[in-house]
Amino acid sequence: MIFSRSAMEFQDFILIVPCCLGFISLCKTFIRFLKWVWVSFFRPAKNLNEYGSWALVTGSTDGIGKALAFELASKGINLVLVGRNPSKLEATSNEIRERFARKVDVKDIVIDLAKFSGEEISNMVEEGIKGLDVGILINNAGMGPPYPMFIHEIESEVLESFMRVNMDAATWVTRAVLPGMLQKKKGAIVNIGSGSSMAVPAFPLCTLYASTKAYLAMFSRCIGLEYEEHGIDVQCQVPLFVATKMIRGFNTASLFTPSPEMYSKASIRCIGYEHICTPYWLHSVQWLLIQRLPDALLNWYLFNLFLKMRKRRMEKYKVSSVNH
């Protein structure tokens, strides 16, 4: 009788334990969902003007950079635009002034980030922002491949440009603006990364792009910890595909591929919060779905997708290559 009662109690215990664990797991999932809803739709954006009256944006004449420049200007923040093309910089500056009825000041710095050394870039930026209260830095300048390529097909000059634009430039521009932020003990640095370096196990045939963007994520994490106590918020934003000219074939806006303007509105709302984030809510949904798929399947799909894109581009432009 006693043995039977003990056995029944043990069976009850065996049933209760997994039920409790399952309930705890369900609660954690529900809490994470509520947090995601709060962050994506209801969390108020920070007052960016509190960081400073000026923002510096690299890669500001096209795509995400240009859209972010307009979004910052709509908040009354003056702009320092960095780009390599003087005529495009002037056109963008004039467009911003006209749209916002000259309520914001705009200054241009012409730098070809692919050609100048890191120290030269830093010196030119320091000279360009002298006397300005730069509170926000957007490291957006980036270089993508003309089409999916094997790494041995990339010319050495282009390969060097990848490194300079995607990694060196962000590092040296950050170094140039940090002293001013440290002096006033506040600032925000945003590095535009890519889901190609984090959301998928590999990004074949766009290897350099994904690898250099992975550098930005770790760079952001590290300096975020280093300068947090000095009031400087550092963030790496990790979008998936955005409808820009960066990667041909994904330059048309759709449900999961927002326009630069749509992305920039989400981007602005996230500045000053997490070290790593995915601002556009449907990108985070897409990321969640991607993570549920086996790595082998994702690798197979992406490799074959980019092989087909590469073939189409090569046929169109009659590009010769070594057979693989």
Q: What angle do CA 33, 286, 166 make, to 5 degrees?
A: 115
Specify whether the CB–CB gap between 263 and 239 falls below 8 A. yes
Q: How far is CA 296 from CA 150, 209, 215, 300, 304, in A?
A: 20, 21, 24, 6, 12
Alpha-carbon span 214 to 216, nearest angstrom:
5
Give residue 7's pLDDT.
Answer: 57
209 is catalytic: yes
For residues 24 and 203, what is the distance between their CA atoms, to the nearest angstrom? 36
Q: Is residue 225 part of a domain?
A: yes
Read off the CATH number of the domain in which 257 is found.
3.40.50.720
What value does the mean pLDDT of the chain take?
Answer: 90
pLDDT score of 321: 46
pLDDT at 12: 59
Q: Classify the C-alpha dihedral 146-147-150-153 as positive or negative.
A: negative
Task: Quote the number of domains for the chain.
Answer: 1
Could you count the other beta carbons within 10 Å of the beta carbon of residue 176?
A: 22
Q: Which pLDDT score, from 0 to 100, does residue 9 have? A: 58
pLDDT of residue 222: 97
> What is the predicted pLDDT for the residue at 11?
62
Query: Which structural domain range is residue 111 located in?
Result: 50-318
Residue 299 has pLDDT above 90, yes or no: yes
Q: Is residue 211 part of a domain?
A: yes
Is pLDDT above 50 for 315?
Answer: yes
The 3-state DSSP class for residue 277 equals strand
As a whole number of Å, the CA-based R_g of the chain is: 23
What tokens were used for 71?
Answer: 């979004």
pLDDT at 27 over 90: no
* 175-212 pLDDT tens trace: 999 999 999 999 999 999 999 999 999 999 999 999 99
Q: How far apart are CA 118 and CA 120, in angstroms?
A: 5
Q: What's the residue count for the chain?
A: 324
| Residue 4 in domain | no
Q: What is the pLDDT of residue 98?
A: 92
- Position 322 pLDDT exceeds 50: no
**Residue range 26-55: average pLDDT?**
90
Selected residue with higher pLDDT from 102 and 323: 102
The region of weakest confidence among 26-30, 127-131, 154-158, 231-235 is 26-30
| Residue 153 counted as domain residue | yes
Catalytic residue among 209, 215, 227, 280: 209
Mean pLDDT over 88-96 rounds to 95
Q: Please indicate, yes or no, if residue 2 is contained in any of the structural domains.
A: no
In a domain, 44, yes or no: no
pLDDT at 103: 87
Give the Cα separation of 172 and 224 in Å (integer).
16
In this structure, is residue 263 part of a structural domain?
Answer: yes
Look at residue 320 and tell me whether its pLDDT is greater than 90. no
Cβ-proximal residues to 308 (8 Å cutoff; 6+ apart), any chain: none
Can you give the pLDDT at residue 317?
Answer: 66
* Helix ranges restricted to H, 164-280: 169-184, 207-227, 260-270
Write out pLDDT tens, residues 226-256. 999 999 999 999 999 998 877 666 667 788 8
Q: What is the pLDDT of residue 51?
A: 97
The predicted structure's pLDDT at residue 85:
93
